[in-house]
Amino acid sequence: MSQRWFNETLYPDYQQRHLVERVLYEEKTEFQELVIFESPRFGRILTLDGVVQVTERDEFVYHEMLTHLPILAHGQVKKVCIIGGGDGGVLEEVLKHKGVERCTMVEIDRKVVDLCVKYMPSICGKAFDDKRTDLVIADGRAFAKNPPEKYDLMIVDSTDPIGPGEVLFEQGFYADCRNCLTDRGILVTQSGVSFMQDEEARNTHKRLKALFADATFYVAQVPTYAAGFMTLGWGCKDAKLREVSRDTIEQRYETAGLDTKYYNPAIHFAAFALPNYIERLKS
198-209 vs 171-180: helix crossing angle, rounded to 10: 50
Catalytic position from the list 58, 109, 152, 157:
157
Homologous superfamily assigned to 59-282: Vaccinia Virus protein VP39 (3.40.50.150)
pLDDT (0 to 100) of residue 109: 95
Contact 66, 131 (CB under 8 A): no
CATH 3.40.50.150 domain position(s) in the chain? 59-282
Torsions phi, psi for 151 (to 5 deg): -125, 150
Contact 236, 199 (CB under 8 A): no
Q: Which residues of 242-257 are buried (b: 16+ CB within 10 A; e: fewer)?
A: bebeeeebeebbeebe
Predicted model pTM: 0.95
Q: Which residues of 95-132 are buried (b: 16+ CB within 10 A; e: fewer)?
A: bbbeebeebbbbbbbebbbebbbebbeebbbebbebeb
Contact 152, 180 (CB under 8 A): no
For the question of residue 157 being annotated catalytic, the response is yes
In the predicted model, residues of the chain with pLDDT beneath 70 are 1, 159-168
- Say how far apart CA 160 and CA 140 lie, in whole Å: 14
Q: Taking Cα atoms as reference points, which of 280, 183, 185, 173 lies closest to residue 231?
A: 280
pLDDT (0 to 100) of residue 190: 92
- Say how far apart CA 189 and CA 225 lie, in whole Å: 15
- 96 - beta bridge partners? none
Contact 91, 50 (CB under 8 A): no
CATH 2.30.140.10 domain position(s) in the chain? 4-55
pLDDT (0 to 100) of residue 171: 82
pLDDT (0 to 100) of residue 97: 98
The CA-CA-CA angle for residues 177, 180, 186, to 5°, reads 70
Homologous superfamily assigned to 4-55: Spermidine synthase, tetramerisation domain (2.30.140.10)
Q: Helix, strand or coil for residue 214? A: strand
pLDDT (0 to 100) of residue 283: 86
pLDDT (0 to 100) of residue 280: 96
